[in-house]
């Protein structure tokens, strides 16, 4: 019944933009056009009715072994598994390095801090960068400009990490950069207000913000930090 309803209703409606131009282009008699429409509709009705019948028979047998009222968790696991497969399919398109060619090939490749060239970085910073960014460490270091490989005062965070996050980590607002991507606004005094001029230069260059956009972002960030992240005054 569901197959007939779907075939005659929604499916025919969605297929009309394809069927009507074909009928109009043939310029046949109205009886011929009616035959084409009936043949098209009939084929869809039969196909959907068969699909509905197969599905009904299949689930009637499945339900004998896995009653819905007792094994709803099983259907949930199968659904989540199918969703996960689809997500992984799309992720591998965006991150080719995740594609594994053979079972013996490791998914994640090791990266040693010793592979980082001497670029005015001490060993502690190299180890930290390698642990945080892995194979992308060389790209992070390479995107730095004058003074970007220096640490922010009283932190282990490098200026180049702000630039890298702004460039590659989907930053939308200033609080994304300072509170979530780098957590600079949490670990540094007064949320890093004293360094906003330099941060502004990075954001305007990497994110394409103009003066008006920066003013709005700075004001919103300061209000959010004072409301939610500062130590209570009393």
In this prediction, residue 21 carries a pLDDT of 62
pLDDT of 53 above 70: yes
Mean pLDDT of 130-157: 91
pLDDT of 187 above 70: yes
pLDDT of 154 above 70: yes
The span from the CA of 37 to the CA of 33, in Å, is: 6
Provide the pLDDT confidence category of residue 41 given band limits of 50, 70 and 90.
Answer: low
In this prediction, residue 32 carries a pLDDT of 65
Mean pLDDT of 7-15: 57
**Tens digits of per-residue pLDDT, 103-137?**
676 666 778 888 888 768 889 999 999 999 988 99
């Amino acid at each position: 019944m569901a197959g007939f309803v779907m075939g005659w209703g929604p499916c025919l409606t969605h297929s009309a933009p394809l069927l009507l131009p074909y009928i109009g282009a043939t310029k046949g008699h109205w009886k011929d056009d009616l035959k084409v429409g009936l043949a098209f509709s009939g084929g869809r009705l039969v196909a959907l009715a068969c699909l509905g019948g197969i599905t009904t028979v299949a689930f009637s047998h499945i339900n004998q072994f896995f009653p819905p009222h007792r094994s709803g968790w099983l259907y949930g696991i199968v659904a989540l598994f199918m969703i996960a497969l689809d997500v992984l399919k799309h992720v591998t398109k965006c991150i080719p390095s995740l594609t594994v060619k053979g079972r013996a090939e490791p998914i994640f490749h090791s990266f040693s801090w010793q592979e980082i060239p001497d670029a005015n970085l001490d060993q502690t910073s190299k180890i930290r960068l390698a642990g945080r960014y892995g194979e992308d460490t060389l790209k992070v270091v390479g995107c730095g400009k004058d003074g970007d490989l220096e640490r922010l005062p009283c932190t282990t965070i490098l200026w180049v990490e702000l630039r890298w996050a702004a460039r590659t980590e989907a930053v939308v607002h200033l609080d994304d950069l300072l509170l979530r991507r780098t957590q600079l606004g949490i670990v540094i005094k007064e949320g890093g207000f004293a360094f906003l001029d330099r941060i502004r230069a990075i954001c305007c260059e990497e994110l394409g913000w103009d003066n008006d956009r920066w003013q709005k972002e700075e004001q919103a960030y300061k209000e959010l930090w004072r409301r939610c992240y500062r130590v209570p005054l009393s």
